[in-house]
Amino acid sequence: MPIQVRPLSYGIGAEISGVDLGRPVDDATRAAIRQAWLDHLVIVFRGQDLPPPRQIAFGRMFGELDDHKSVPFYRHPEHPEIYLITNKKIGGKESQTKDTGRLWHSDHSFTTHPTMATMLYCLEIPPVGGTTMVCNMYRAYETLSPALRAVLDKLDAVHSLEHYSAHNPYFTSRDPEQIRKMNELSPPVAQPVVRVHPETGRKALYISEGQTQRFVGMSQAESAGLLQYLFEHSVKPEFTYRHAWKVNDMLMWDNRCTNHLAVPDYSHQTTRHMHRLTVLGTPSGRLLEPQER
Ligand code: OGA
Ligand code: MN
């Protein structure tokens, strides 16, 4: 039976029904899912039973999976492809990922091999909140004036994990030694401010409040005003979808044309536990030259 695709908002997002991802998915269904994902940027599957091997098998249908080497400290003990986004204590220690994603970002844009897709699967969710927002960065680009688009088309911007950790108020629980290691694993990179999507050919803004520090060749002070404008512009309500999770939901978003945010709208007295998997994309950007730092 063909899948059904129901848009979830005007600007972004669709719910896919009529498929059980817990079982092998045939080629026609996979192609229909991929098309719906390219069209809607983030897709939602409800009521899926996905133990890690099944989530991994589904992920592999879309490409090579990341083993989270750039953030190695919170992988699933038996499945390095699965990264735990959780506020549960593990081994008696406070979770290092309980506040992952609290600033808008695109996964791994601070590397030269950023991810294509993220698949986030919900195992436990607080009674209220714990929502995730996703915004449409094609629309963010397309709604700018032609003159500003022409300026941005020529610019690169610095993305770094160091910047993300330094200005993120939720990063305080992380141990400094771990932050040092993360920065060593991921030195700053230059990414195009406008990225051409390798599959759709459409242009999207590729900057984020979390990870973008400044324009290449400009100081942070020179960049700040325009970047702040773009951060605010790109998350206008009409460009966003906000997902209220239920257990067994799986969300799959396209990191090449969206940013996302883990909204801090719940209490850590309640449990939120997710399995994340990321599919690698085509390379983007380059390491910053020492003289550009
Ligand atoms: C992520 C992320 C958002 C969330 O897993 O990459 O940003 O809502 N998660 O947990
Ligand atoms: Mn993320």
Q: Is any ligand 1 atom within 6 A of the Cβ of residue 276? A: yes
Closest CA to 289 of 223, 218, 216, 222: 216
Q: Is any ligand 1 atom within 6 A of the Cβ of residue 262? A: yes
Closest CA to 114 of 282, 246, 227, 236: 282
Alpha-carbon distance of 54 to 193, in angstroms, equals: 36
Q: What is the pLDDT of residue 186?
A: 86
Q: How many Cβ atoms from other residues are within 10 Å of residue 174's Cβ? A: 16
Query: What integer best gives the mean pLDDT of the chain?
Result: 94
Residue whose Cα lies nearest atom 1 of ligand 1: it is 101
Give, for ligand 1, the residue of 66, 70, 86, 118 to mutate: max count of ligand atoms closer than 8 Å to Cβ. Answer: 118
Q: What is the pLDDT of residue 64?
A: 95
- When mean pLDDT is compared across 13-22, 71-80, 112-121, 187-196, the lowest value belongs to 71-80
Domains of the chain: 4-285 (3.60.130.10)
Q: What is the pLDDT of residue 74?
A: 83
Q: Is any ligand 1 atom within 6 A of the Cβ of residue 118? A: yes
Q: Is any ligand 1 atom within 6 A of the Cβ of residue 107? A: yes
3-state SS track over 212-254: EEEECCCCHHHHHHHHHHHHHHHCCHHHEEEECCCCCCEEEEE
Residue 113: C-alpha distances to residues 8, 116, 156, 171, 287 (Å): 30, 9, 16, 24, 11
- When mean pLDDT is compared across 1-15, 91-105, 166-180, the lowest value belongs to 166-180
Q: What is the pLDDT of residue 210?
A: 97
DSSP character string of 74-90: GB-SS-TT-EEEE-S-B
- When mean pLDDT is compared across 56-65, 140-149, 162-171, 283-292, the lowest value belongs to 162-171
In the chain, the percentage of residues whose pLDDT exceeds 90 is 82
Q: Is any ligand 1 atom within 6 A of the Cβ of residue 109? A: no
Write down the residue that tokens 């808008």 correspond to. 104
From the candidates 66, 99, 107, 249, which is the catalytic residue? 107
pLDDT band at 75 (very low <50, low <70, confident <90, very high): confident
- pLDDT single digits (tens) 138-183: 999 999 999 999 999 999 999 998 888 888 888 765 677 877 777 7
Ligand nearest to the CA of 102: 1
Beta strands in the chain (DSSP E): 4-7, 14-17, 42-45, 83-86, 115-124, 132-136, 156-159, 189-192, 194-196, 203-205, 212-215, 240-243, 250-254, 258-262, 273-280, 286-287
Give, for ligand 1, the residue of 68, 164, 260, 261 to mutate: max count of ligand atoms closer than 8 Å to Cβ. Answer: 260
Q: What is the pLDDT of residue 177?
A: 80
Closest CA to 278 of 249, 240, 252: 252
pLDDT band at 56 (very low <50, low <70, confident <90, very high): very high
